[in-house]
Amino acid sequence: MGRLILELRQGGVTDSRVLGVIENLPRSLFLAGPFKDRWDENVALPIGYQQTVSQPSIVGLMAQALEITDRHKVLEIGTGSGYQAAVLAPLCRRLYTIERHAPLLKESELRFQELGLTNITSICGDGAAGWPSQAPFERIIVAAAAPDVPPVLLDQLSSGGVMIVPIGLDKDDQRLTKIIKAQNGVETQDLGPTRFVPFIDGRVAK
């Protein structure tokens, strides 16, 4: 784990709270089969259903860019294995997470229970629709690449809120983007290149 944390620091993750959570979170719990032995590698790994668990450096950079405090209500689009959610939960007040693949969500919920993470609420649904009944959110994180800033999610972001979303459908031309919803409009910051699966609108895979 020491090597992994060093790689995260070298990759720009400097927030001590984020690093502390990642250092104490057993990544192997979120991997299956032969991939369990690769828990300390800073690479994305498959979790089934053509999905991956992001490399720890990207997880760390996204969590850091959100600038979370323990007063924030956070929405995560794309639960996946639950790894990003497990990093975010100790940093925020409440985390709401949506996953379109029911089997992945069930596995993630069992992991949350095992880790004692009680401030996570999860549903199987269409992430493109967000979670209107719980909006607004101070922070939103999207674990799939959208062609542009998702307007529905932007509407569910509170004034002064932050959204982190990969933008660009071409895997070789995606940019991790920070959106700040200011009173006089939207500010964007380019956080660098990244690679995510595409943001699928309107479909739930049971």
Active-site residues: which are they?
A: 54
**Alpha-carbon span 204 to 194, nearest angstrom:** 25
CA dihedral 112, 4, 13, 92 (to 10 degrees): 10
Helix-, strand-, coil-residue percentages of the chain, each rounded to 5? 35, 30, 35
Q: What six digits make up the tokens of 13?
A: 């993750």
Mind giving me the DSSP string for 18-32?
A: HHHHHHHS-GGGG--
CA nearest neighbour of 90 among 153, 23, 135, 44: 23
Nearest to 129 by CA among 96, 106, 159: 96
